[in-house]
Amino acid sequence: LMYGRQKTYLTCNRNSFNIQRKLFNFIYRNQQELIDNVRGVFIQQHGNLFDVNIRTPSKTVKLHSLLKEDECLWLVQELQEWFNNK
């Protein structure tokens, strides 16, 4: 996912997911959460664009994806399926 020169990388395995943010190829944020902690995957609207939020008991992880609605719905569905079938 890209926003300007920022890139967001989302990786998942059986137990956790990791969100890594890069700006000009420099990693400035790395977040890891256990999939068992995921309470839901949600859409947040920002004008004509949409973002994906992953809610855990302690925080809401925002992907800062700024996608079209259909792209965001697809990504939410894929993530929910992944998290539910781990």
Q: What pLDDT, in 10s, does the model give residues 17-75?
A: 999 999 888 888 899 999 999 999 999 999 999 999 999 999 999 888 889 999 999 99
CA atoms within 13 A on the CB side of 40: 3
Residue 8 and residue 16 in contact, taking contact as beta carbons nearer than 8 Å? no
Q: Reduce the DSSP state of residue 74 to 3 states and report it.
A: helix
Q: What angle do CA 9, 34, 15 make, to 5 degrees?
A: 85
Q: Tell me, what amino acid is at 13?
A: N
The answer, yes or no, to whether residue 86 has pLDDT greater than 70, is no
Query: How many Cβ atoms sit within 10 Å of the Cβ of residue 66?
Result: 18
This prediction has a pTM of 0.81
pLDDT at position 11 is 92
